[in-house]
Structures are given as C-alpha cells and as structure tokens.
Amino acid sequence: MPGFRRPSLRSGALDFYPPPMANDVVPVKIRGILPANSGCALFIGNDEKVFVIQVEQSMGVVIGMALRGTPKDRPLTHDLMAHVFQGFGIQLERVVITNLKNSTYFARLILRQQNELGTKLVELDARPSDCLALATALKRPVYVSRSLFVELEDMSEHLPDPDDGGSIEPET
C-alpha cells in the first residue's frame, strides 16, 4: 500500500491516513431517535450494545427525515454537502465515532476522491451529528472505535420499542 501523507495543519481537521484495520472499529447504526430536554437522543449501536448521543432538535429531525427517506422541498445543508461531494467526485466512505471527552463525542468523515492522478483518502474532524446526517442521507456505513465502544454504557433498555407505541423518531 502506498504511503499516505499528513499535511501540517495545526487544527488536525484534515488528515491523509491509511484506512483503519477492520478490528479497530465496530459497525453500528441508528436504532432510534427520541425527543429529549436538550434536543434529541440518538440511540446508536448494534445487537451487542446501544449508546446515546444527544443532538440538537433540528439535527434529530434532519436525521429522522433521512432515515424515512422523506422528500424535501429544498436541499438542506447536508444535501448541499452531498451535492458538493458529487460535483468534485468525492465519496463518503464511512463515518467513525472516535472518542468521548467531557461528555462530548468526536467523529471523523472518511472521504475518497479518485481521479486521473490516483486515489486520495481524506479524514475530516466533524461533529457526530453532521457525520450521522451525511451517512444517513448517503446510506453509508457508520462505525465506532472499538476502544470507545467497550467503554460506553449499554443503553439498550432505554431504546424505544415501536411495537409498544414508543416513538423512534422525532415529530417533524
């Protein structure tokens, strides 16, 4: 595999990187969305464990619309980003929720651009809510780093059951 280079950016927002090994991440998906006092609670996980990320109400609505495939009259911000990606031949490969510090989650967008010069992988630091909105809209996979996943509390018992009348998405 050819070496990837890391540009010298102080913010760390943009990195070229080698793809992570398959055992470094755990596949997850959005399992439910509930209204919460401070916005919406996104239930994210797999059959093993579910954890919660709090997002703004508007982000919960946008993610819920993407999950349902609800058509929109005009493009929203995440739709615009998807159109920009498409226009420049960039594909969202995946989203990785990487860390939790001081009750704040961190995530990365992994982008791929292929052209006549070759393939470039770029990793961008982004809010998990933005990453999840893009991944949901573009139907791309979501992962969480294994080291974070093992530390998170399992919130499966709080996951709403739609068969019992529980809401899995916020009202629009």
Q: How far apart are CA 140 and CA 138, in angstroms?
A: 6
**Residue, of 115 and 151, whose pLDDT is higher:** 151
114-128: average pLDDT: 92
44-68: average pLDDT: 95
Alpha carbon separation from 117 to 95, 114, 163 (Å, rounded): 25, 8, 52
- What is the pLDDT, as a whole number, of residue 158? 86
**pLDDT, averaged across the chain:** 85
Q: How far apart are CA 172 and CA 153, in angstroms?
A: 29
- What is the pLDDT, as a whole number, of residue 117? 86
Buried b / exposed e over 13-31, threshold 16 CB at 10 Å, is eebeeeebeeeebbebebb
**Residue, of 22 and 107, whose pLDDT is higher:** 107
- 145-166 confidence digits (pLDDT tens): 999 999 999 999 988 776 554 4
**Residue, of 9 and 87, whose pLDDT is higher:** 87
Is residue 52 over pLDDT 70? yes
- What is the pLDDT, as a whole number, of residue 13? 52
75-88: average pLDDT: 92
Confidence of residue 17 (pLDDT cuts 50, 70, 90): very low
**Residue, of 16 and 74, whose pLDDT is higher:** 74
53-63: average pLDDT: 95
> Where do the domains of the chain lie?
14-164
Fold of 14-164: Bifunctional nuclease domain (3.10.690)
Which one, of 145, 111, 109, lies nearest residue 130 by Cα? 109
User: What is the token pair recorded at 110?
Assistant: 């992994």
7 Cβ contact list (under 8 Å, min separation 6): 14, 15, 16
Is residue 18 over pLDDT 70? no
Strand partners, 99: 106
Q: How far apart are CA 50 and CA 163, in angstroms?
A: 18
